[in-house]
Amino acid sequence: MLNNLKIGTKFNLLLLLVFIISIAVSGVILSSVLQQRAQREVSSQALLLMKTMNSVRTYTQERINPLLAPQLETATAFIPETVPAFSATEVFENFRQTEGNENFLYKEATLNPTNLRDKADDFEIQLVEQFRKDPKLPQLVGLRSLPEGEVFYIARPLAITKESCLRCHSTPELAPKSQLTTYGQKNGFGWKLNEIVAAQIISVPSKEIFNHARSSLSLIMGLLIAIFAVVLLLINFLIKKTVIQRIKKIEKIAQKVSTGDMSADFDETAKDEIGGLAAAFNRMKSSLKIAMDMLNQQGY
């Protein structure tokens, strides 16, 4: 079938094939790059919030807790502000009250928490168990579907690294009375030093960012298709102008010569391959004319 096609058609098919392959390869590469960029953007937001919450935890542990801890034995109700996890959670809740941040989430998902609002769900339990199986694992990241929509999460292990933390979480007998009065004796005990008890999880809404990446991909691909289409038309025009039309001109002259019209010349001044072909045809025409003149002189 290809042998029956004209050169112009063959060139167009070849260019179209190159066009399709180029667009497909470009689309795959761009999609990967934009997805990675979107994930880095979401991850950077999550890490920034994680560092902020850790700063709140550190401040509470080193500055607030020493000030309020002596009051725990005499207070009628437990003072939750002495707990780093409580302070971090409350600060993050204030952050979520600002416009545009409603779908950001923070949780110190704990297997056996004192405050049941920190109780890990099934998904979070799996994260904690993974950290327990591999204590050297620094963090886990991924996507998770929540009622708020799809979110990107980053989770890091939380372990008991200070003896002072065991005062409230080893046994009920050692815990402050105000803690027992507020939270009871059933939850938040039995923790051990250096044991991973929770996963610190920041969840960042990713739908908008990934949608933006997909929109950018569509825009860039549209521009690429338009550019490729213009290039395709330009190449097609140049091929017709510099190759096809010149070959057709030589073909028409060759047809005249083949019918005995020796007055037609292969007029081609260019020094390229087509010009060389025209010069060869002119020499062939001259040789043919000489041969025909000799035959006419001999009476053939």
Q: What is the tally of helices (H) and strands (E) in the chain?
A: 9, 4
Same domain, 198 and 61: yes
> What is the pLDDT, as a whole number, of residue 291?
73
Same domain, 279 and 163: no
Residue 12 lies in a domain: no
Q: Say what the pTM is.
A: 0.66
Same domain, 194 and 124: yes
What pLDDT, in 10s, does the model give residues 237-274? 888 877 777 777 777 877 877 777 676 676 766 677 77
Across 111-240, the runs of DSSP E, i.e. the strands, are: 140-146, 149-159, 196-205
Residue 16 lies in a domain: no
Residue 278 lies in a domain: yes
CB atoms within 10 A of CB 167: 15
> What is the pLDDT, as a whole number, of residue 1?
58
pLDDT at 157 over 70: yes
Residue 101 lies in a domain: yes
pLDDT at 156 over 90: yes
Same domain, 45 and 169: yes
Same domain, 176 and 261: no
CB atoms within 10 A of CB 223: 10
Residue 116 lies in a domain: yes
Give the residue numbers spanning the domain of 267: 215-297
Question: Looking at 40-49, 127-136, 173-182, 258-267, which range is the least confident one?
Answer: 258-267
Q: Which letter does DSSP use for residue 254 in this model?
A: H
Same domain, 185 and 234: no
What pLDDT, in 10s, does the model give residues 39-75? 888 888 888 999 999 999 889 888 888 888 777 777 6
> What stretch of H or E contains 108?
strand 105-110
Q: Is 204 helix (H, G, I), strand (E, B) or coil?
A: strand
- Given 158, 182, 209, the domain boundary residue is 209
Residue 80's nearest CA partner among 117, 124, 121 is 117
Give CA–CA dist 107/212, Å, rounded: 27
Same domain, 144 and 279: no
Specify the higher pLDDT residue, 239 or 202. Answer: 202
> What is the pLDDT, as a whole number, of residue 132?
93
Q: What mean pLDDT, rounded, does the chain reach?
A: 83
Vertex 113: Cα angle to 108 and 117 (nearest 5): 65
Give CA–CA dist 152/147, Å, rounded: 13
Same domain, 221 and 204: no
In the numeric block, which tokens belong to residue 236? 């097609």
Residue 97 lies in a domain: yes
Domain count along the chain? 2
pLDDT at 110 over 80: yes
